[in-house]
Amino acid sequence: MKYSLIRLAASKLLYLLLHKTVTIFCHPIHGKKMQLKTLFLSTCYLVSLMLSATSYAKADQWQPLQTISNAAEFHVKNHFTENAGNSFTAKAGKLDNRLKLALCQNPLETKTHGKAQTTQQIVAVKCSQPSWKVYVSVKTVRTEPVVVVVNRLNRGDVISLSDIKIESQQTNRLRNGWFTRLEQVLGRTLKRGISSGQPVTGNHLQKNWLINRNQPVKLVANARGLSVAMKGKALSNAELNSIVAVKNLSSGKTVEGVVIGPGIVRID
């Protein structure tokens, strides 16, 4: 309705201006040159007014860019928030203001484009009627409580309770995993130093060996429902559920088994 009123007002102004231009042209004021100059200026103003009226009339025919950004952000939040307890934000990149897309008659459709990254997603925002598609870059930030060190720790240090605390940090860029409970790293040995306030990751810790090389171990074998235990010596370090070579001290033979507990190896 408001755009119809604008067009009506513009039409009346155009009529009055055109009438004035014709009047000037037909009745000399100060000679031919003055007539031509006046006609030229009037024509320029007339064209400018026509363009302005057209712009106002079509302003409601373009898709608002903010609705495209909102759709892309909602898509990322809806598809990549794994834990509602974590703080997660998504911010769409600024779209070019010169972008003119016809007003979509249907709800906007969204889809992740390419491989999802930890800090940035590319979202395809699509309209089916009329048909158009635009790609929007969305930056993401995920924050959650993680284990960090209170003061700097050095390689070889054993982590104690006074060395660590829980603190909310951005986890997008953390690699090799992070820890959310103090007991997960308590008593572990560092294989590299960590600065104050830095999150503890799996890359900082030495392997949590349940069996050390040359350690005496108990070999357990199950046969026909009977459990037989023998003494052995581990030939390498090993973690839980990993395979380790063990020397059977009774037979002198080397066998392989699976670590099922501290100092215990099951052989089949």
- pLDDT at res. 53: 44
Most confident among 47-51, 86-90, 95-99, 237-241 (mean pLDDT): 95-99
How far apart CA 22 and CA 7 sit, in angstroms, is 22
- pLDDT at res. 36: 53
Residue at token pair 């070889």: 156
* pLDDT greater than 60 at residue 232: yes
**CB count, 10 Å around CB of 178?**
20
How far apart CA 164 and CA 182 sit, in angstroms, is 7
Q: How many CA atoms lie within 13 A of 92 on its CB side?
A: 22
Q: How does residue 29 score in pLDDT terms, banded at 50, 70 and 90?
A: very low
The answer, yes or no, to whether the previous bond of 130 is cis (omega within 30 of 0) is: yes
| Over residues 219-244, mean pLDDT | 87
Interval 162-199: pLDDT, tens: 999 999 988 877 776 788 899 989 888 999 999 999 99
| Over residues 200-213, mean pLDDT | 88
| Over residues 102-121, mean pLDDT | 87
Q: How does residue 16 score in pLDDT terms, banded at 50, 70 and 90?
A: low
How far apart CA 10 and CA 4 sit, in angstroms, is 10
Residue at token pair 């090799």: 176
**79 or 256: which leads in pLDDT:** 256
- pLDDT at res. 219: 94
Cα Dmax for the chain: 128
**CB count, 10 Å around CB of 179?**
21
How far apart CA 146 and CA 201 sit, in angstroms, is 9
**63 or 143: which leads in pLDDT:** 63
* pLDDT greater than 70 at residue 28: no
Interval 47-83: pLDDT, tens: 554 544 444 445 569 999 999 999 999 999 888 655 4
Per-residue 3-state assignment (H helix, E strand, C coil) for 40-64 = HHHHHHHHHHHHHHHHHHHHHHECC
